[in-house]
Amino acid sequence: MNIQIQAINFVVDKELKDFLIKKVDKLISINDSIINADVYLKVEKPESYQNKVVEIKLHSSDGVFFAKKQSDSFEESADLSVQALRKQILKQKQK
């Protein structure tokens, strides 16, 4: 399993990386057909509120799962993205 974390125009600290890896690993435990994950972190309009964006794209043998969420912190955005991906994965498993 390969997890790529990319931050656009800033450097990610170790705590945030560990947090993101832990969240993505929980998704992998739901569906073991996930091959790799791409996580993109962005700050849109630094002077505004709710400007932290997290995009997570999971590639699996069942297809591609994608979620993009925006909030006040990267952790909150990651939580929202993981919740959305969890719903997608569980819906796919039921088919």
Handedness of CA 66, 55, 6, 22 (dihedral sign): negative
The pLDDT score that the predictor gives to residue 9 is 86
Enter the tokens of residue 81.
């993205």
The sheet carrying 2-7 orders its strands as: 2-7, 34-43, 52-60, 63-71
- State how far the Cα of 7 lies from the Cα of 42, in Å rounded to an integer: 6
Q: E-strand spans in 1-95?
A: 2-7, 34-43, 52-60, 63-71
Please check whether residue 60 is in contact with residue 34, taking contact to mean a CB–CB distance below 8 angstroms.
Answer: yes
The pLDDT score that the predictor gives to residue 95 is 73
The pLDDT score that the predictor gives to residue 62 is 84
pLDDT digits (tens, 9 = 90+) for 20-72: 999 999 998 888 889 999 999 999 887 788 899 999 999 999 899 999 999 99
76 CB-contact burial (10 Å; exposed 0-12 / middle 13-18 / buried 19+): middle
